[in-house]
Amino acid sequence: MCGIAGAISFAEDMRADMKVYERMQRALLRRGPDQRGIILTEEAAMIHTRLAVIDINGGRQPMTFSCEKGSYIIVYNGELYNADELRAELEEEFGFCTRSDTEVVLKSYVKWGENCVDRLNGIFAFAVYEQDAHRVFLARDRIGVKPLFYALCKDKLIFASELPALLEHPDVPHEIDEKGAAELLLMAPGRTPGCGVIRGVEEVKAGHCGYYSAKGLDLRQYWKLRAYELSETFEQTAEHVRELVLDSIRRQLVSDVPLCTFLSGGLDSSLISSVAAAEMKKRGEVLHTFSVDYRGNDKYFQKNHFQPDSDPEYIRCMAEYLGTEHHWTIVDTPELVSALDEAVEARGLPGMADVDASLLLFCREIKNYGTVALSGECADEIFGGYPWYRDKDIRMTDGFPWAQSTAYRKRFLTERYAEVINAEEYVYSAYRRTADSAEKLPSDGEVDSRMREMTQLNFDWFMQTLLDRKDRMSMYSGLEVRVPFCDYRIAEYMYNVKWEYKDWQGREKGLLREAMKEWLPEKVLWRKKSPYPKTHNPAFLEAVTERLQKILAEDTPLTELVRREELEKLLRHEEHVQWYGQLMNLPQTIAFFIQLDCWLKRFGIKMI
Distance in angstroms (rounded) separating the CA atoms of residues 24 and 5:
7
* Residue 443 CB-density burial (10 A; 0-12 exposed, 13-18 middle, 19+ buried): exposed
Calculate the alpha carbon distances from 199 to 11, 171, 217, 267 in Å: 23, 12, 18, 41
Q: Which residues contact 297 (CB under 8 A, 6 or more apart)?
A: 310, 533, 535, 536, 537
Q: Which residues contact 271 (CB under 8 A, 6 or more apart)?
A: 245, 249, 376, 512, 516, 519, 520
* Per-residue confidence (pLDDT) for residue 147, from 0 to 100: 98
Distance in angstroms (rounded) separating the CA atoms of residues 601 and 561:
13
Q: How far out from the chain centre does Cα 30 lie?
A: 17
Give the largest CA-CA distance in the chain: 70
| Pairing between β-strand 208-213 and β-strand 135-140 as defined by DSSP bridges | antiparallel
Give bridge partners of residue 211 from the DSSP assignment.
137, 218
Instruction: List residues with catalytic annotation.
Output: 2
Sign, CA dihedral 317-506-243-380, equals: negative
Give bridge partners of residue 151 from the DSSP assignment.
158, 201
| Pairing between β-strand 135-140 and β-strand 122-130 as defined by DSSP bridges | antiparallel
What does residue 420 show for φ and ψ, rounded to 5 degrees?
Answer: -110, -10
| Side chain identity at residue 252, one-letter code | Q
What is the per-residue DSSP string for 126-158? Answer: EEEEETTTTEEEEEE-SS--S--EEEEETTEEE
DSSP state of 529: P
Distance in angstroms (rounded) separating the CA atoms of residues 562 and 580:
18
What does residue 418 show for φ and ψ, rounded to 5 degrees?
Answer: -60, -30
Q: Which of 335, 353, 333, 334 is nearest to 343 (CA)?
A: 353
Helices (H) and strands (E) in the chain, counts: 27, 19
Torsional class of 346: left (φ above 0), alpha (ψ -120 to 50), beta (otherwise): alpha
What is the per-residue DSSP string for 60-77? Answer: -SSEEEEETTEEEEEEEE
Q: Which helix (H) or strand (E) holds 50?
A: strand 44-50
Peptide bond before 189: cis, by omega within 30 degrees of 0? yes
What does residue 421 show for φ and ψ, rounded to 5 degrees?
Answer: -110, 120
Q: Low-confidence residues of the chain, pLDDT below 50?
A: none
Q: Which of 557, 360, 595, 475 is nearest to 27 (CA)?
A: 475
CB 237 within 8 A of CB 34: no
Helix/strand/coil (H, E, C) string of 204-261? Answer: CCCCEEEEEECCEEEEEECCCCCCCCCCCCHHHHHHHHHHHHHHHHHHCCCCCCCEEE
Q: Which of 144, 145, 150 is nearest to 162 (CA)?
A: 150
* Per-residue confidence (pLDDT) for residue 301, from 0 to 100: 56
Q: Which of 488, 400, 395 is nearest to 448 (CA)?
A: 395
| Pairing between β-strand 149-153 and β-strand 201-203 as defined by DSSP bridges | antiparallel
Peptide bond before 62: cis, by omega within 30 degrees of 0? yes
Q: Which residues contact 221 (CB under 8 A, 6 or more apart)?
A: 205, 207, 208
pLDDT digits (tens, 9 = 90+) for 286-310: 999 999 999 877 666 555 555 556 6
Distance in angstroms (rounded) separating the CA atoms of residues 37 and 24:
12
| Pairing between β-strand 288-294 and β-strand 325-331 as defined by DSSP bridges | parallel
Distance in angstroms (rounded) separating the CA atoms of residues 118 and 121:
8
* Per-residue confidence (pLDDT) for residue 528, from 0 to 100: 84
